Amino acid sequence: MKDNKLILGIETSCDETAAAIVNDKREILSNLVLSQLKEHEEFGGVVPEIAARSHLENLNTLIRAAMKDANLSFDGLDGVAATCGPGLIGGVIVGLMTAKSICLVHDKPLLAVNHLEAHALTPRLTGGISFPYLVLLVSGGHTQLLLAHGVGKYERIGTTIDDALGEAFDKTAKLLGLGFPGGPAVEQAAKTGNGKRFKFPRPLSGRKELHFSFSGLKTALRYAAQEIQPLSDSDVADLCASFQEAVVDVITDRVGRALETYGGDKNLPLVVAGGVAANQRLRQAITQCAAAHNSELIMPPPELCTDNGAMIAWAGAERLALGLSDPLDFGPKARWPLDPDAVRAPGAGVKA
Ligand code: KG4
Ligand code: ZN
């Protein structure tokens, strides 16, 4: 009997092709991420068709390299995990079909992973935290507050009613000509800016319901930018810094209220996950917010906040440890909410 289980994780739901090997002792044996940034750059955003074709071209080579890095053959695996949604369906199909082929040929269990759950479980890989905990999930497609009760058991207590936070960063960057992806570019520009120069709104701050809204903030930034055309580098830096401060205020207000509402005297641990959790200013503000609420904080290192294969492999390892696996006819899902019973937030679109 092997003393640890080895899982291959495959991620292809957006514009990163990723493959990793993780064991159930929380060790990452290999973790390779191939960004498609250059392929989408000229379009100012991810083009689904290009993404799917690029995954198809690169995934097999990447998996082989990840296996080699971990000094492993397919026979040595205990399971193959793949993102089955939510995400761009063409890419999801590429990853899922590849995982199914490996499972079929080598007689391994398939672990169908929800990409959002993989983000939410990453702190159990990096920090070994136990359930229950509060999750702030901030990515390119989602902005949610979740109570994580167990693997597969999430209660969505807040969501964005319009743009996701990563999307707001990306749109801000596009508007200011900072390129794609916007998050890191806005963060970089903000470093030299004055965050107090522009008085941007803090949408939904102070509200009892734990929802978010970012489209008004983006519009306020657009008007402010239009008024001071042409923009100098320092104008751009001030706009980015003021935008980031508004974001930080909104997020800490919402997270603080969630900890007060659901933490009680139990001091609910707080986990921050998803690509925007790589933002250093946000990490710093959330660290203060968690400390003020006596809440243990776990934030994965930035490279495990943005999309990667290790988080998918780990989510697979968590499922396997519970005796769960999935049939080979498991279908890809463009939408796959973590809490299917969540009541739609007032005024929210379908993505919420
Ligand atoms: O989790 P992720 O890699 O992919 C999705 O599942 O969506 O998140 C990508 C998002 C993008 O919108 C990107 O601009 C944002 O995360 N992001 C950041 C930073 N790094 C990535 N946003 C703000 N600051 C960053 N440093
Ligand atoms: Zn993601």
Q: Is the CB of 114 under 6 A from ligand 1?
A: no
Q: Is the CB of 181 under 6 A from ligand 1?
A: yes
The token duo for 345 is: 């937030």
pLDDT at 348: 78
pLDDT level of residue 352 (50, 70, 90 thresholds): very low
What is the helix, strand, coil percentage profile of the chain, to 5?
A: 45, 20, 35
The token duo for 322 is: 């519970």
Whether the pLDDT of residue 266 is over 90: the answer is no
Tell me how far apart the alpha carbons of residues 297 and 269 are, in angstroms, rounded to a whole number.
6
Residue nearest to atom 22 of ligand 1 (CA): 183
Tell me how far apart the alpha carbons of residues 38 and 267 are, in angstroms, rounded to a whole number.
44
Q: Are 224 and 200 within 8 A, CB to CB?
A: yes
Tell me how far apart the alpha carbons of residues 342 and 210 are, in angstroms, rounded to a whole number.
13
Query: pLDDT of 181-206, one tens digit each?
Result: 899 999 999 999 999 999 999 999 99
Q: What is the mean pLDDT of residues 35-40?
A: 90
**Beta pairing partners, 109:** none
pLDDT at 350: 53
Query: pLDDT of 1-20, one tens digit each?
Result: 567 999 999 999 999 999 99
Query: pLDDT of 221-254, one tens digit each?
Result: 999 999 999 999 999 999 999 999 999 999 999 9
Whether the pLDDT of residue 333 is over 50: the answer is yes
Q: What is the mean pLDDT of residues 62-81?
A: 98
Closest atom of ligand 1 relative to the 305 alpha carbon? 1
Rounded to whole angstroms, what are the CA distances from 298 to 2, 22, 136, 295? 30, 19, 11, 10
pLDDT at 163: 95
Share of the chain above pLDDT 70, in %: 97
Cα(274) to centroid(ligand 2), Å? 5
pTM (predicted TM-score): 0.94
Q: Please, what are the domains in the chain?
A: 6-121+304-321 (3.30.420.40), 131-302 (3.30.420.40)
Closest atom of ligand 1 relative to the 115 alpha carbon? 6
Measured from the alpha carbon of residue 139, the closest ligand is 1
351/153: higher pLDDT: 153
Tell me how far apart the alpha carbons of residues 31 and 199 are, in angstroms, rounded to a whole number.
42
pLDDT at 229: 96
Residue 232 neighbours by CB distance under 10 Å: 9
> In terms of DSSP H, where are the helices of 191-274?
215-227, 233-263
| Pairing mode, strands 297-298 and 133-138 | unpaired
pLDDT at 128: 82
351/218: higher pLDDT: 218
On average, the pLDDT of the chain sits at: 95
